[in-house]
């Protein structure tokens, strides 16, 4: 949770960035899900961008974090919030996240364009992003993760920007987006042009073997995993909640049994 909002430095006229919004989260999934990681790896290899789409609790962020750790690229992470619908705020953060991995990024063209970000100039802004991504630090391949894009999906600049940007990204740059809602129709059409891979909520659901592996990581049985699957329908957050609850319950039961055993021997 952020304690302050983005604010304008009145002395410099520049937006002060909340560093947590452009820092890769430290939390990690308990297990890796190879079938989904393979899909992301194929998207990366094909030069397409990727959207992971699903409601809250379906495991989007955990999958993105796991892939970011394993992809062998530098990672620029940007956590979107609702006020970022203002294009200047959004692009300041996006540039800031990339600049952490590619120092100097945006200095040639983007700074001026971002300061005056307007819908009618979004194509020029997208082209400046493409140019500077292709011109900066080509020795270090980059994964750009934009988390929770659904919070700004109604912004009129969003579709023009991403429909221009995503098909023209350099080969060493991959954009991975998480969103609770499906992408707007013009972005969805990029899928048919093989410029975009969409991992939908149905694919995010845990399979039985994945659920069993998760429960085993908590020291629980495959039968307990099967019961939880029946109740959660494979939803990631619900499964993990079941596993944590059962694990704590078993620990409590074991502790009580040990206490009874000690009392009996006394």
**Domain match, 45 and 136 both:** yes
- Structural domain contains residue 98: yes
Residues 62 and 128 in one domain: yes
CATH of the domain at 21: 3.40.50.300
Q: 3-state DSSP call for residue 169? A: coil
Distance (Å, whole) CA 220 – CA 31: 14
- Domain end position, chosen among 162, 178, 204: 204
The domain in which residue 261 lies consists of 208-265
* Cα radius of gyration rounded to whole Å, the chain: 22
Asked whether residue 117 is domain-assigned, the answer is yes
Q: How much is the pLDDT for 255?
A: 44
Note whether 114 and 91 are within 8 A (CB): yes
Of residues 85, 54, 4, 67, the one with CA closest to residue 182: 54
So what's the pLDDT on residue 193? 85
Do residue 150 and residue 80 come from a single domain? yes
If one counts every other C-beta atom within 10 angstroms of the C-beta of residue 262, the result is 9
In this prediction, residue 264 carries a pLDDT of 38
> 129 phi and psi, to 5 degrees?
-60, -50
30-82: per-residue pLDDT in tens? 999 999 999 999 999 998 899 999 999 999 999 999 999 999 999 999 999 99
Assign 9 a pLDDT band (cuts: 50, 70, 90): very low
- Show which of 204, 222, 241 is a domain's final residue: 204
Q: What is the pLDDT of residue 1?
A: 37
Q: Give the torsion sign (CA, 183, 71, 134, 16).
A: positive
Identify the pLDDT of residue 137. 64
Angle formed at CA 62 by CA 249 and CA 161, multiple of 5 degrees: 150
Confidence bin at 251 (pLDDT 50/70/90): low
* Closest by CA position to 229, among listed 200, 254, 208: 208
Pairing mode of beta strands 49-53, 15-16: unpaired
- Which residue in 81, 87, 164, 142 sits closest to 118, CA to CA? 87
In this structure, are 192 and 216 located in the same domain? Answer: no
Query: Poorest-confidence range of 72-81, 156-165, 245-254?
Result: 245-254
Q: How many domains does the chain have?
A: 2
Q: Are residues 171 and 64 in the same domain?
A: yes
What pLDDT is stored for residue 262 in this prediction? 36
Same domain, 221 and 127: no
Is 158 in the same domain as 104? yes
**Chain center to CA of 186:** 21
Question: Which pLDDT value is given to residue 261?
Answer: 42
What is the pLDDT at residue 108? 73
Whether 6 has a pLDDT exceeding 70, the answer reads no
Do 76 and 152 fall into the same domain?
yes
Q: What is the mean pLDDT of the segment spanning 90-99?
A: 95
Query: What percent of the chain has a predicted confidence (pLDDT) above 90?
Result: 70
- C-alpha 115: how far from chain center: 26
User: Among candidates 255, 170, 198, 234, which has minimal Cα distance to 52?
Assistant: 198
184-238: pLDDT as tens digits:
888 888 988 888 999 999 999 999 999 999 999 999 999 999 999 999 999 999 9
Same domain flag for 34 and 150: yes
Is residue 149 situated within a structural domain?
yes
Closest CA to 14 of 91, 100, 83: 91
106 and 177: one domain? Answer: yes
Question: What are the pLDDT digits (tens) for 108-125?
Answer: 778 778 877 667 788 889
Q: Is 162 or 7 the better-scoring residue by pLDDT?
A: 162
Of 179, 204, 229, the residue at which a domain comes to its end is: 204
Positive or negative, the CA dihedral 118, 122, 126, 127 is: negative
Distance, in Å, from the CA atom of 254 to the CA atom of 248, rounded to the nearest integer, reads: 10
Number of residues assigned to the chain: 266
What's the pLDDT at 79? 98
What mean pLDDT is reported for the chain?
87
How far the first Cα of the chain sits from its last, in Å, is 50
Least confident piece of the model among 24-28, 90-94, 251-255: 251-255
pLDDT score of 4 more than 50: no
């Amino acid at each position: 949770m952020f304690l302050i909002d983005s604010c304008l430095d009145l002395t410099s006229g520049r937006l002060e960035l909340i560093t947590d919004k452009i820092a890769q989260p430290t939390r990690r999934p308990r297990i890796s899900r190879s079938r989904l990681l393979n899909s992301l790896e194929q998207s990366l290899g094909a030069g397409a961008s990727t959207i992971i789409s699903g409601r809250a609790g379906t495991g989007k962020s955990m999958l993105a974090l796991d892939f970011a750790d394993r992809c062998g690229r530098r990672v620029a992470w940007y956590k979107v919030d609702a006020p970022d619908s203002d294009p200047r705020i959004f692009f300041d953060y996006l540039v800031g996240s990339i600049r952490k991995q590619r120092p100097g990024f945006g200095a040639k063209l983007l700074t001026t364009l971002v300061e005056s970000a307007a819908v009618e100039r979004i194509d020029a802004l997208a082209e400046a992003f493409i140019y500077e991504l292709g011109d900066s630090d080509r020795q270090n391949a980059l994964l750009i993760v934009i988390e929770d894009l659904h919070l700004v999906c109604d912004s009129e600049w969003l579709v023009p920007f991403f429909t221009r940007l995503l098909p023209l990204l350099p080969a060493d740059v991959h954009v991975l987006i998480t969103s609770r809602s499906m992408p707007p129709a013009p972005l969805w059409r990029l899928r048919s042009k093989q410029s975009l891979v969409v991992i939908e909520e149905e694919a995010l659901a845990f399979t039985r073997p994945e659920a069993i592996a998760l429960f085993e990581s908590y020291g629980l049985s495959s039968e307990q995993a099967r019961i939880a699957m029946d109740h959660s329908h494979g939803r990631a957050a619900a499964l993990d909640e079941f596993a944590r609850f059962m694990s704590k319950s078993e620990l409590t039961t074991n502790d009580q049994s040990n206490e009874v055993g000690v009392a009996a021997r006394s």
